[in-house]
Structure 1
Amino acid sequence: MEIDFDPPDASANFPGTPLQQSGTYAAVLRSFGCHSAVADIRSDGARLARARILVRGIGPLRLAWVPRGPVWAHGVARADQSRALAALPRAAPWCALWAMGGDAGGARRGLPVARGGNVAELDLTQGEQLRRSAQHGKWRNRLKRAETAGLSITAAPLELPRDAVLLARERAQRRARGYAALPHAFLERWQNIAPQDTLLLTAKDGGAPVAFMLFLLHTPTATYHLGWSGERGRATGAHGLLLWRASQELAARGYHRLDLGHADPQRTPGITRFKLGAGAAPRALGATTLCL
């Protein structure tokens, strides 16, 4: 097994790459001063996996974090995954305490420091009729009502400062509801680094915004990032319509998967019902493990 820490196509995303293993995500964190590295894991010349590693100093320690990685090629055996995970720290050009993320796969020794969970994912490779039929009945009925509510939908890349007023509404919503999300400074850096790799869908009623959803694009996957809905948006079911239109747009562009984020029926039952009702399937993530 060979591990290359200097692959020639270091900016490319491996198929199935989640947001946290994308090249743009690493570039954004580098802009905040975090060091990153890329490692390709090969066997007999065939690439088994790609890992993006974020390296930070914590006092006298160096932490190498592989968030939601490595990303494996299709069909890699669990035994090969375990061998690769054991070999990765030994092959690194620096010594560190390693934190392997929830998508690492394979059996690995270490101390679990964060529990696993589930993410909700929409399969965009299916045709429109199949994707619509995968929606739960009540969710699909609400979508039908939203489609006849007279809302207009626009889709475009995020543009700042033009769209700052929408982000301000989401920020106020976040404070009022007390949920956590990446700071808007992350989004501003993303937009500066990859201005075309965002998709902003806005629902308007009479020309006034009533809801929006923003997605980050990392081909061939897209990830829901944040959204906002006002009173009129909630009354018309605008978010369901926005998500449906986003899935249509992304599928037409050739994206394979839409990651809707965590699905936790205990902590966020309403949001989880919304995601799964849209036809998303839950996928289990393993625990994050510390190892040397």
Structure 2
Amino acid sequence: MTALPALPLQQSPQFARALTAFGSDVVSTAPVVLQRRIGTWGGIRFASRIRSDALTQAPRLINGEDDAPAAYRAAGYRQIMTPAHVAEWDLTQTDRRAAMQGKWRNRLVKGEAAGLRVRQTFWDGRPHWLFHQATAQARARRYRDYPFALLAAYAATNPKDSLMFEASAKGHPVAACLVVSHGTTATYMTAFSTPFGRDLQAPRVVLDHAAGHLTDSGHRIFDLGLVETDHTPGLARFKLGTGARLRALGGTWIRLGRRRVTG
């Protein structure tokens, strides 16, 4: 039997605390289930990235975490969307750099020679230049980022679990990345680099620095988030260039009638 994936951010107790502080209607924390208004359906119970072995609360709409269609069907669900994919970086491998794609690794080496200063801090939820820039970038490139208020709630309710990695050149910030910790997994939340920073390969230096810090602090998986080749092919190549594994999630499912009881 294939091992189930580690508990994702969206199903972690840390994220449940942040959602509650953010004002979301959390109706269950294990698994994390929200009451949400979704289109013409009105109020509906929804769980994001829920594992197939955690369907006891039987929310109406789910995004599955693992590729287990038989388990979702047995619980009374019908699939309405095919699986998305995420990039998962294994931090336990003996030679992380050797697993990188050659071009990615060469650009990282170039960045390391550029004399960038990289620092890491615990972010406490206060405004930071990263979020203004990242929000504008997401809007321009047509992808969605987590709202700043939710990220700030995560930092406030989970002290020292929000890590900011920032690179500077000639005394000015050129790239930054926010990573959140939940157990032995960490999740890449948002990032931005200036044009000068990209010329210096700062995004690669920052991400590699983050991976090294997470490894040293006992993390095993670095979840780099969704890989969308249609809308953000450059970001997809950037994430997979690290040597991260592309993994299919479970797809989106809806339960139309009463839950069937099996066995």
**TM-score w.r.t. structure 2 length?**
0.85
Match of 1:53, as an amino acid?
V
**One of 100, 108, 121 as aligned partner of 1:156:** 121
Partner of 1:135: 100
Match of 1:25, as an amino acid?
F
Partner of 1:63: 44
Distance between the aligned counterparts of 1:174 and 1:272, measured in 2? 14
SS in structure 2 of the partner of residue 149 of structure 1: coil
1:114 aligned onto 2:114: no
**One of 23, 38, 43 as aligned partner of 2:13:** 23
Query: Aligned runs of 1:1-292 on 2, under 5 Å?
Result: 16-31=6-21, 32-39=23-30, 51-56=31-36, 63-70=44-51, 81=53, 85=55, 88-89=56-57, 98-104=60-66, 105-107=68-70, 108-109=72-73, 110-127=77-94, 130-161=95-126, 163-291=127-255, 292=258
- Equivalent residues of 2:125, 2:153 under 8 A apart: no
Distance between the aligned counterparts of 1:64 and 1:282, measured in 2? 29
Aligned Cα root-mean-square deviation (Å): 2.4
Report how far residue 28 of structure 1 moved: 1.9
Write out per-residue CA displacement over residues 149-202 of structure 1, whole angstroms, 9 at most, x where no aligned residue: 0100001111343x5233222233334434321111111111211131111110
Write out per-residue CA displacement over residues 94-134 of structure 1, whole angstroms, 9 at most, x where no aligned residue: xxx5223221535123332333111000001123xx11100
Distance between the aligned counterparts of 1:268 and 1:33, measured in 2? 28
- In terms of Rg, which structure is larger? 1
Distance between the aligned counterparts of 1:113 and 1:29, measured in 2? 26
- Equivalent residues of 2:124, 2:162 under 8 A apart: no
Query: Comparing 97-106 with 190-199, which one deviates more in the overlay?
Result: 97-106
Gapped runs of 5+ residues in structure 1? 1-13, 40-50, 73-80
- Equivalent residues of 2:24, 2:34 under 8 A apart: no
Distance between the aligned counterparts of 2:112 and 2:215, measured in 1? 19
Q: 1:116/1:198 Cα in 2 relative to 1: closer, same or farther (>3 Å)? A: same
- Equivalent residues of 1:203, 1:212 under 8 A apart: yes
Percent identity, please: 37
Work out which structure has the larger RCO, using CA pairs closer than 8 Å and 6 or more positions apart in sequence: 2
Q: 1:166/1:114 Cα in 2 relative to 1: closer, same or farther (>3 Å)? A: same
Write out per-residue CA displacement over residues 222-273 of structure 1, whole angstroms, 9 at most, x where no aligned residue: 0000011101101011001111110000000000100001113333221111
Match of 2:89, as an amino acid?
L
Gapped runs of 5+ residues in structure 2? 259-263
Distance between the aligned counterparts of 2:201 and 2:116, measured in 1? 10
Distance between the aligned counterparts of 2:135 and 2:230, measured in 1? 25
SS in structure 2 of the partner of residue 134 of structure 1: coil
- Equivalent residues of 2:134, 2:191 under 8 A apart: yes
Partner of 1:43: none
Q: How many residues align?
A: 246
Report how far residue 57 of structure 1 moved: 6.5
